[in-house]
A and B are shown apart, each in its own frame.
Chain A
Amino acid sequence: MTSDCDPYKQNIQGLILRGYTHPFSCHLLFNFPNPSQGTSPEQMAFFKALYPHVQSAEDWGDQKPNWMLNLGLTWYGLQALNVFEDPNSLGYFPSEFQAGPWSANPQSSLGDAGGPGDPSTWWYGNFQNEQLHCVVHAYAMTQSDLDEVVTLVTNAANSSGLTELFALKDKKSRLTQSQLPNDEIHFGYRDGISEPELNWSGKLGVPDQSDLNNFLVGYPNGSIIQPGPASPLPGVPASAAAASFAKDGCYNAFRILYQNVAAFNTLLEEQAETLAARLGLSQPQAQEWIAAKLMGRWRNGSPMMLSPDAPDPCTQEGEDFGYIEQIDSSQFQDMNSGLKCPFSAHTRVGNPRNEDLLSIEGTSGPPRIARRGMPYGPPLNSTSDDGVDRGLIGLFLCGSFSRQFEQIYSWFNMNNFSSVFPDDQLYPQDAVLGNRNPQNTLPVGTDFDIPMSDSQGDITFSSLDTFIVTRGTAYCLLPSLASIRLIAGL
């Protein structure tokens, strides 16, 4: 990667460069009152109170903070804050950031519209999508620490006239990280594996989708993704102001995803009962095998490509693999890999690595996003639904919603991005995240195919259930520390 100059880590919000391991977190949503002009003194006071606790990307060494904050602003939030002297500056931000994830074009990729996660149902209808202006992410080492930081944030919000918004059904609970064992998410998989490296120097100087300049605004030289607004137009102050404000920021698709654990467990249980004998496994072992085929990794994290037969602690962080096999005689040498990792397994669709991609997908390899999510809601170890809300608080970081997040999401909903998916039949969907929206008109099927080498042929799970329902989405900018200072009037 080439760059004019490296960014200052002190100016970048910490969660952009690394996932935190603080076991407690809470994600608070706010609406700003809209002043007639300029950022109001009350709004400034809110950011002034929070600013000292906003964690930068600087290494904290052995002084790990007991608690800390990061924060994001939606386009409507920027508008309500009146951060720009010339309101035309707002027009220089990306179209999809302005329009919001509920609008028509993003929905072409996200596929929620018309289904159970239709944008009109987001946030349980507790507030309108446009009313969400700011998301504060609070992280802590203990429950007591979390209580302390949440109190600081809510006190600052109350005294500044902000309205707290509640995303859950009871209209009063906050989005709080649940304490599942071993960094697990609901469905029982270890999370936080396989994140882009976010290198500054790039691999051998060759532009790479994992490079930081594809995630951070303001470094267009050598960037594949070209996050914007990055290039101020000569003689256009409104453009320069937008580029300056966005520099060293990163975008966050903040997405609340309900997980239907009972339906997922039912699939595992029913299919294991059918397949255990064929696989020569006990039913619990067969359930784990099926779970691994759906995800592309065993629940401990071992990739199917490295550990096709059983999970292995030695490979559970495994990253050094692809889907091309030298002994494969197919055109792109990526078909045999389906015997280890099904083509529609979730981690394979989300990052197809060196699998052949069609021309329209570009020539730089699959786009990447950085995931900083955590589970919410209590665990469920049953095939009967208890009616309790649970799922993922998803923070999907990118430099361009459309060219990274939405492109990958469109793949989840229709697996047609690679030559491994035949054109003479309905395209499959991502085994876990595919939006089985009956209202969509995509040429997709909801069967999941597991290629097998034995004489009995492939295994097909017919008509997969909906495992994920969107409860809300906000497109946020995680601004630089300098821009937060600007809002705070510091």
Chain B
Amino acid sequence: MANPLTLYVPIKQDPASQAAAQLAYKTFVQGVKGGLDDANIVHYARLALIPNPNGQGTLAILLITTFDGPMDPYLQFFWKDKGTRTAFAGVALLALNPPVPPVTEINGFEKFINANNLNVPADLYQAYTLTVKQIKHVPKSTTASPA
């Protein structure tokens, strides 16, 4: 069973924070790829910038992932991985309402994720129940050879 994380964080409007949000958007996939590959439970992950209603600048950061299994027991893995930790902690630093407690250790990280996650598992439609590991599992006998 996959589960959803829809992390919605309104961000500060000062130029430095706005520029940092743009940088986070541009470097997200590259930054988290190693950690997510190693985790082997994340189906998809993306970061989006929600524009302000007037079209100028960014209102909020939206980080969306779909992953296998429960979330909380495995947040420690993502906190320990440098790439994913940098991404999540970076989003927390830009938050319009600074997280309490600050995202400086695993308990603060867990609270930040739970406090800003807009979805619960029951919200997710899923077309299949296969896990990432099951999907990636390709028996050697069926591996196609290059022509």
Contacts and interface: CB of A to CB of B under 8 A. Distances in A.
A230 interface: yes
Given A226-B105, A359-B40, A407-B73, A402 B137 contact: no
Given A226-B107, A359-B40, A96 B134 contact: no
Given A92-B101, A104-B122, A360-B40, A423 B134 contact: yes
A344 interface: no
Interface residues of A, number: 40
Contacts of A406: 70, 72-73
Contact of A108 (B3, B77, B80, B139): B3
A181 interface: no
Contacts of A99: 114
A335 to B, nearest CB: 17
B93 interface: no
Interface string B19-56: 00000000000000000001111000000000000000
Contacts of A229: 101, 107
B111 A414 contact: no
Contacts of B75: 402
A109 interface: yes
B133 A441 contact: no
B122 A402 contact: no
A438 interface: no
Most buried by B among A91, A95, A407, A416: A95
B73 A443 contact: no
Contacts of A92: 101
A231 B105 contact: yes
Interface string B54-80: 000000000000000111111111001
B12 to A, nearest CB: 20
B-side interface size class = 35 or more
Given A362-B76, A403-B76, A94 B107 contact: yes
Interface string A429-449: 000000000001111000000
Contacts of A407: 70, 73-74
B96 interface: no
B69 A104 contact: no
A106 B136 CA distance: 27
Interface in A220-238: 220, 226, 228-231, 233, 236
Contacts of B77: 359-362
A140 B47 CA distance: 57
A407 B74 CA distance: 8
A328 B32 CA distance: 36
Interface in A353-387: 358-362
Contacts of B118: none
10 contacts: A96-B72, A106-B70, A109-B73, A220-B105, A226-B106, A228-B107, A229-B107, A233-B101, A416-B133, A441-B129
Interface of B: 1, 3, 38-41, 69-77, 80, 100-102, 105-107, 110-111, 114-115, 120-122, 126, 129-131, 133-134, 136-137, 139
The 8 A-B residue pairs with the shortest CB-CB distance, nearest first, are A228-B107, A402-B72, A407-B73, A108-B70, A104-B120, A423-B137, A95-B114, A109-B70
